Structure 1
Amino acid sequence: MAYWQDRAAQRRVWAIAFPLILSNISVPLVGLVDTAVIGHLDAAYHLGAVAVGSTLFTFVVWLAGFLRMGTTGFAAQACGEGDGAELRRILLQSAWLAVLISLLVWLLHAPLLELGLRYLDSSAELLEHARAYFQIRLTSLPAALINFVLIGWFIGAQNSRAPFAILLMVNLVNIALDLLLVALLGLGVEGAAWASVCGDLCGLLLGLTLLGPILRQYPGRFDWLRAAKLKGAAPLLRVNRDILIRSLALQSVFYLLVVQGARLGDQVVAANAVLLNFLLIASHGLDGLAHALEALGGHALGKRDKDALRRVLVITIGWAVLLSLVFVLVFLGAGDLVVRVLTDLPEVRAEAIRYLPWVAVMPLVAVWSYLLDGLFIGASRALAMRNAMLLALACYLPLAWALRGQGNHYLWFAFLMFMALRSVFLGGWFGWLWRTGRWMKTD
C-alpha cells in the first residue's frame, strides 16, 4: 500500500504511460478507420482482403518486433548506468538490423506471399486484393522497422513524448490519406495500403529529428564502423533471436485465427477482422503501462535497485487491472454500436455482434501477459519470454486442431485459452526467479 501511495512514483509511471497509452491507442484507431472506410464498400471481400493483407504484413513486421523490444531493454539499462556510448551503439546496431531485415524480406517477398495465401480457402477477388495490399505495404517496410527501433530506444530512455509524436504522425497521415484515397478518390484496398506507406515514411522523418535532446543528455560519440560490423552486438543479437522466435509463435496464432476464420467464409473472416480491432485497442492501451514497466524496470535493474522495481510493479499492475476493467465495460456496453459504425454489411454485422463477448472479456485475461512481457523486456530476459510463448503455443495447437471446423465460437475460445496460458507460464517463471534471488544480481 505504501508503494501505491508514493505520489512521486505514480507521477514517474504516468509521465511515461499516459502519452504512450494515447499514442498506442491511435494505432488500432487507424485500423478502425481502415475497417470503417473499407467496410462501407459494396462487398465483404474488400474488408476481408484488407484483413488478410494487413495480417500478412503485420506478421512480417511483428516478427521483427524484437527491434523494438530488444532495443528498449538495453537502452533502459544503458541510461540507468549513464553510458552514452552504449546508448548510441544500441541505436545504430538496431537500425542497421532493421535495414538488413528489410532487404531480406524484399528479396523473398514473392514466395512468402504465396505461402501466406496458400491455405486460405477464400474467393479469388479477396485473394487478388490481399496480394496487392501486401505488395504495396512492403514499400515502407524499412521505415516501419526503423520506427520500431526509434520507439523502443526512446522508451528505454524514459522519453514517452517522442514515441507519442512518431505514432501520432504515422496514424494521422494514415487516417487523412485513407479518407482521401479510399473514401473520396475511390482507390479501394490499394488506396488504404498507400495511406499506410505514407504514414510510415512521415513517422520516420519525424523520429530522426527528435533524437537530439537525449543524445545531448547522455554524451558520447557514434562509432559508425563498429556498429556496421555489429561489434559487441552478441547480447543484442541473442535477445533479438529469442524475441524473434517468440514473435513468430505469437503471430502464428493470429494467422491461424485468420486462416480458420477464412475457411468458414468471407463473412466470418470479415467479422473477425472487425472484432480484432477491439483486441488491438485494449492491447495497445494496456501496453502503455507495460512500456512504463519496461523503462522504469530496466532503469531500476541498471541501478540494481530492488525497491524501485517493487514500487513500479505495484503501481503498473494496479492501474493495468483497473484499465482492463474499463475496456471490458466499454466493449460490453457499446461494442455493438462500434460494430455498426465499422461496417454496414448486414451479414458481417450479425456475425461480429454474435462473437463480441469473446473479445469483450479478453482484456482481463490478456492484461497479465502484457505486463509480464514489459517486465521481461526491461530486464532483457528474452529467453524466458521465448520459452513461455513456445509452451503456450504447444498447448494451443492441439486445442485448435481438435476444435477445427466446429465454428467461430470455438476459434475464439481456443484463442482466449492461449492468452491465459501465456500469462500462467511467464508469471510462474518470474515468480521462481524472484523467490530464488535470480532476478537482480545484487543478492
Structure 2
Amino acid sequence: MNKKILNLAIPNIISNVSVPLLSMVDLMLMGHLESEAYIGAVALGGMIFNFIFWGLGFLRMGTTGFTAQALGNRRLDESVMTLVRALAVAMLAALIILLLQAPLAHVSFMLIQGSNEVEHIARSYFYIRIYAAPAALGLYAFNGWFLGMQNAKAPLFISVLVNVANIGLNYLLVVRWGMKAEGVALGTVIAQYMGFLAAIGIFSWRYRKLFKYIVLKKAFQKTDLWIFFKVNNDIFIRTLALISTFSFFYAESAKYGDQMLAVNSLLMQFLSLMAYGVDGFAFAAESLVGKAIGAKDGSLLHKSIRYIFRWGIGLAGVFSLTYWVAGEAVLAIMTDKTQVIALAGEFMPWVVLAPLVNAFCFIWDGIYIGATASKAMRNTTIIATFVVFLPVYCSTQYWWQNHGLWFAFTLFMATRGIGLAWLAKRYIRIY
C-alpha cells in the first residue's frame, strides 16, 4: 500500500509544489520593484482568478472521482465520456468568462478595494491573464481525468512544463524586457496554453485506443449529465464558500493598508506551498478511494485512508518545522522590504501552526472527492465559513485586528477537518 500511495503522491507533490513556487517567484519579482504595491496588486489579481477558476475546480475534482470509480468498475467507455463532459463544460465556461470580462472586473474591484495604485496595477494584470481561461479550465478537466485513470505522471509533466515555462517567461518579460505586473500575467497566459496543448498531445498518444468509446450523443444523455452536475454543483458551492473566505481574507488585509496586504500575501504563500504539498496525498486518496469504491473493495478503502493520513500528517509536520526554523530567512529572499519582513515575523506563529491544522481537511477533501460524497464537503465548508470564520473575525477584529483574521482563518480550517471526520462513517463507505 505504501508503494501505491507514493507512486501516486510523489509525482503529485512535485507537480503541486511547483504551483505555489511559481507564485512565490512572481511575488519575489514584484517584491524587488520600486513599490510594495506590486506585491499586493499581483496577489489581488491572482486572488480574483482563484475565485473565477477555483469556482470551476469541480472540473478537476469531480472528474477524478467519476473517472476513478468508472475505472474500478472496468467501464472505460464511461471514464472517457466523463472527460468529454468535463471538457465541454470547461470550454463553455471559458467562453462565458471571456465575454463577461468587463463586468467581472468591475464587480471584483468593487468588492476588493485596495489603494488606487494597487487597483490600477491589478487591473492591467487582470485584462491580460483573463485570456488564459480556456487553457486553464481545459487543464482542470484533463488533469482530473489523468488522476482518475491512476496516471500521476501526466499531470506531473504538464505542471512542470507549465510552471518552468512560466517562471522563465516571467523572468524574461519582467527582468530582461522591463515589464512589470503585465509581464507576469502574459507569462502565465502563454505557459497555460503550452500545458493545454501538451495535455491534448498526451491524451491523443497514450489513450488513442479509447477514441472508439467517444460517442457525443451518449456523453450528453440527460441521466448522466444530471449525475455529473449534481455532484459537481455541490463541489461548486463548496468551492465558492472556500474562495469567499480567502477573498474576504485578502479584502480585509487590504483595509489594513498596502504594507499589511503585502505581509499577508507573502505569508499565504507559505500556506499555499504546504497545501499543494499535502494535496499530493489528497490526490492519491481521490484515485485510490474512488477505485476502491468502484471495485466495492472495503478492505482497500479503509487501508488507503489509514496509510494516506500517516503520510500526509507526517509531511505537514515537516512543513511546520521548516517554517519555524527558516520562515524569516525565506521572507528575506522573497522581498527586500525590511519593514514588511519585520511585520511578517509577528504573524509567523500562525504559519507554523497552519500545516498541522490544515492537513486534516485537505486529506479528508481528497477522500470525499474520491467517494463523490460532495454534499458533506459542501455543508462543512458553508458552516466553517458563515458560522465560524466570519463571526469569529467580526468579534475579534477591533481588539486583535490582523491576528484576529489569522485566528478566524485557523478555526475555519479546523472546523472543516473536524466536520469531515465526524461525517466520515456516514458518507465514506461501500454501497
Displacement, 1:135? 1.5
**Partner residue of 1:6?**
none
Could you say what secondary structure the match of 2:100 adopts?
helix
Distance 1:121 1:304 in 2: 51
- AA aligned opposite 1:24: N
In structure 1, the gaps of 5 or more residues are 1-8
Displacement, 1:375? 0.6
Could you say what secondary structure the match of 1:304 adopts?
coil
Could you say what secondary structure the match of 1:178 adopts?
helix
Distance 2:96 2:275 in 1: 29
Distance 1:308 1:214 in 2: 27
**Partner residue of 1:351?**
343
Please point out which of 390, 393, 397 is paired with 1:400.
393
**Partner residue of 2:366?**
374
Displacement, 1:112? 2.1
Please point out which of 411, 420, 430 is paired with 1:417.
411
My pick for the range that moved more, 43-52 or 344-353, is: 344-353
Q: Do the aligned partners of 1:300 and 1:308 also contact (CA within 8 Å) in 2?
A: yes
Distance 1:93 1:360 in 2: 41
- After TM superposition, the structure 1 = structure 2 runs for residues 80-229 of structure 1, keeping only pairs within 5 Å, are 80-212=72-204, 215=207, 220-227=212-219
Distance 2:205 2:396 in 1: 53
Q: Do the aligned partners of 1:260 and 1:404 also contact (CA within 8 Å) in 2?
A: no
**Partner residue of 2:296?**
304
- After TM superposition, the structure 1 = structure 2 runs for residues 35-50 of structure 1, keeping only pairs within 5 Å, are 35-50=27-42
**Partner residue of 2:4?**
12
Please point out which of 254, 279, 285 is paired with 1:287.
279
**Partner residue of 1:363?**
355
Q: Do the aligned partners of 1:261 and 1:272 also contact (CA within 8 Å) in 2?
A: yes
Distance 1:224 1:148 in 2: 20
- 1:123-160 Cα distance to aligned partner (Å, 9 max, x none): 21110111111121110111001101111101110000
Distance 1:347 1:408 in 2: 16
Please point out which of 221, 237, 242 is paired with 2:229.
237
My pick for the range that moved more, 399-408 or 411-420, is: 399-408
Displacement, 1:415? 0.3
My pick for the range that moved more, 290-299 or 101-110, is: 101-110
Could you say what secondary structure the match of 1:404 adopts?
helix
Distance 2:208 2:192 in 1: 26
**Partner residue of 1:5?**
none
Please state which structure has a larger fraction of its residues in helix: 2
Q: Do the aligned partners of 1:82 and 1:218 also contact (CA within 8 Å) in 2?
A: no
Q: Do the aligned partners of 1:83 and 1:218 also contact (CA within 8 Å) in 2?
A: no
Displacement, 1:393? 1.3
Q: Do the aligned partners of 2:113 and 2:119 also contact (CA within 8 Å) in 1?
A: no
- AA aligned opposite 1:301: I
Could you say what secondary structure the match of 2:136 adopts?
helix
Could you say what secondary structure the match of 2:213 adopts?
coil
My pick for the range that moved more, 228-237 or 317-326, is: 228-237
Q: Do the aligned partners of 2:36 and 2:259 also contact (CA within 8 Å) in 1?
A: yes
Distance 2:404 2:283 in 1: 32
- 1:164-212 Cα distance to aligned partner (Å, 9 max, x none): 0111111011100111011111100000000111111011011111114
In structure 2, the gaps of 5 or more residues are none
- 1:274-316 Cα distance to aligned partner (Å, 9 max, x none): 0111001000000000111110110000000000011111111
Give the aligned CA root-mean-square deviation in angstroms: 1.5
**Partner residue of 2:245?**
253
Q: Do the aligned partners of 1:366 and 1:419 also contact (CA within 8 Å) in 2?
A: yes
How many matched pairs? Answer: 429
Displacement, 1:431? 3.0
Displacement, 1:120? 3.6
Distance 1:314 1:425 in 2: 18
Could you say what secondary structure the match of 1:403 adopts?
helix
Distance 1:361 1:232 in 2: 43
- AA aligned opposite 2:276: H
Distance 1:432 1:412 in 2: 32
TM-score, length-scaled by structure 2: 0.97
Displacement, 1:216? 5.3
Q: Does 1:429 align with 2:423?
A: yes
My pick for the range that moved more, 382-391 or 113-122, is: 113-122
- 1:399-432 Cα distance to aligned partner (Å, 9 max, x none): 1222334421111111000000001111111134
Q: Do the aligned partners of 1:39 and 1:343 also contact (CA within 8 Å) in 2?
A: yes
My pick for the range that moved more, 102-111 or 327-336, is: 102-111
Displacement, 1:355? 1.0
- AA aligned opposite 1:38: M
Change over 3 Å in CA distance of 1:219–1:117 after alignment to 2: closer
TM-score, length-scaled by structure 1: 0.94
**Partner residue of 2:322?**
330
Displacement, 1:107? 2.4
Identity %: 37
Distance 2:219 2:186 in 1: 32
Displacement, 1:215? 2.7
Q: Do the aligned partners of 2:31 and 2:337 also contact (CA within 8 Å) in 1?
A: yes
Distance 1:86 1:213 in 2: 19
Displacement, 1:56? 0.4
Could you say what secondary structure the match of 1:210 adopts?
helix
Could you say what secondary structure the match of 2:151 adopts?
coil
